[in-house]
């Protein structure tokens, strides 16, 4: 049943900066402080889409339930590589930074949010995290897999669409995102390898990189490899996944 009243509250995860990393006040503040950092693009996209963003800092498992009590939907955002040891592999020379503290928190957050049937949008690292949580694996680096004529790492103009993807035409993802073929930006060097249990591929690029996945038995979980929050800087089409999340969250939110 759809409820009126307040806007949906959308939780969003961010970076955890440990006190060791911040020695000397390199981030801001004083030495021996730790920090939680959240993408302004993500926060503003959630605001623009018609919801209220609620930043979720890393906490112990016994406090995650209290975090979930305050939100109606959840975004797992981009960031560091997911630790390959979580899916039975070792660090590679091409591995980017990993953060075991963030990994542990987000895996627990994913578990408890799914148990609550909470609407979830996963972006970039978030999609990879969902796949690993469901027992899947990742390509450590797509450099040897991807078509060199396609760009998968565009950071100079991160909002710019750089290649098309094909979406499953008879799936809700194509209706949500505006068609069976769309153009996306791209900032990732890893991708889904073995698909996790209960998931389905609903979007791919022409070089067979998995670009979107969903849960087979649920219509309120969607995972995207690109960054719609960055597209939204220049193009309102980037807001579509967040508007979908808001609709899902509004349908189940508590006053």
Instruction: Kindly report, residue by residue over 175-197, the tens digit of the pLDDT.
Output: 999 999 999 999 999 999 999 99
**Residue pointed to by tokens 């560091």:** 80
Helix, strand and coil in the chain, % to nearest 5: 30, 20, 45
Strands 221-224, 120-123: pairing is parallel
Among residues 211, 197, 206, 216, the alpha carbon closest in space to that of 241 is found at 211
What average pLDDT does the segment 88-112 reach?
A: 94
Among residues 111, 113, 99, the alpha carbon closest in space to that of 68 is found at 113
Q: What is the value of pTM for the model shown?
A: 0.94
Among residues 240, 172, 164, the alpha carbon closest in space to that of 209 is found at 164
How is 81-147 classified by DSSP, letter by letter?
BPPGGGGT----TT---B-HHHHHHHHHHHHHHHHTT--EEEETHHHHHHHHHTT--EES-GGGTS-
Catalytic residue among 152, 163, 188, 227: 227
Domain range list for the chain: 9-252
Torsion sign over Cα 62, 40, 76, 146: negative
3-state secondary structure of 160: coil
What confidence score (pLDDT) does residue 4 get? 54
Band of pLDDT at residue 250, cut at 50, 70 and 90: very high
Fold of 9-252: Rossmann fold (3.40.50)
What average pLDDT does the segment 67-96 reach?
A: 94
**Residue pointed to by tokens 């390898």:** 193
Catalytic residue among 106, 122, 211, 229: 229
- For the chain, give the percent of residues with pLDDT over 70: 96
Band of pLDDT at residue 19, cut at 50, 70 and 90: confident
- For residue 5, pLDDT over 90 is answered with no
3-state secondary structure of 152: coil
Tell me the two tokens of residue 48. 């623009």
* Residue 124 falls in the annotated catalytic set: yes
Catalytic residue among 106, 122, 124, 163: 124
Q: Which of 37-41, 53-57, 150-154 has the lowest mean pLDDT?
A: 150-154
What confidence score (pLDDT) does residue 1 get? 35
* Residue 229 falls in the annotated catalytic set: yes
CA 54 to chain centre: 15
Task: List 199's β-bridge partners, or say none.
Answer: 215
CA 235 → CA 47, 48, 113, 167, 184, distances in Å?
15, 12, 30, 20, 11
């Amino acid at each position: 049943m759809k409820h009126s009243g307040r806007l949906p509250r959308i939780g969003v995860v961010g970076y955890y900066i440990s006190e060791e990393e911040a020695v000397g006040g390199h981030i801001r503040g004083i030495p021996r402080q730790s920090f939680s950092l959240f993408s302004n693009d993500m926060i503003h996209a959630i605001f623009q889409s018609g919801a209220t963003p609620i930043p979720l800092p890393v906490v112990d498992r016994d406090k995650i339930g209290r975090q979930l009590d305050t939100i109606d939907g959840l975004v797992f955002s981009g960031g560091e590589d997911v630790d390959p040891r979580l899916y039975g592999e070792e660090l590679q020379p091409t591995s980017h930074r990993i953060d075991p503290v963030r990994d542990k928190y987000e895996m627990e957050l994913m578990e408890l949010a799914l148990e609550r049937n909470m609407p979830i949008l996963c972006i970039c690292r978030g999609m990879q995290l969902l796949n690993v949580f469901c027992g899947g694996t990742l390509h450590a680096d797509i450099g040897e897999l991807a078509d060199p004529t396609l760009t998968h790492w565009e950071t100079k103009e991160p909002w710019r669409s750089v290649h098309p993807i094909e979406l499953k035409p008879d799936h809700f993802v194509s209706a949500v995102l505006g068609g069976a073929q769309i153009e996306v930006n791209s900032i990732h060097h890893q991708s889904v390898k073995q698909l996790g249990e209960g998931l389905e591929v609903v979007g791919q690029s022409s070089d067979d990189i998995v670009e979107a996945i969903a849960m087979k038995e649920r219509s309120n979980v969607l995972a995207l490899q690109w960054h719609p929050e960055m597209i939204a800087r220049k193009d309102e089409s980037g807001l579509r996944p967040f508007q979908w999340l808001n609709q899902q969250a509004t349908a189940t939110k508590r006053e």
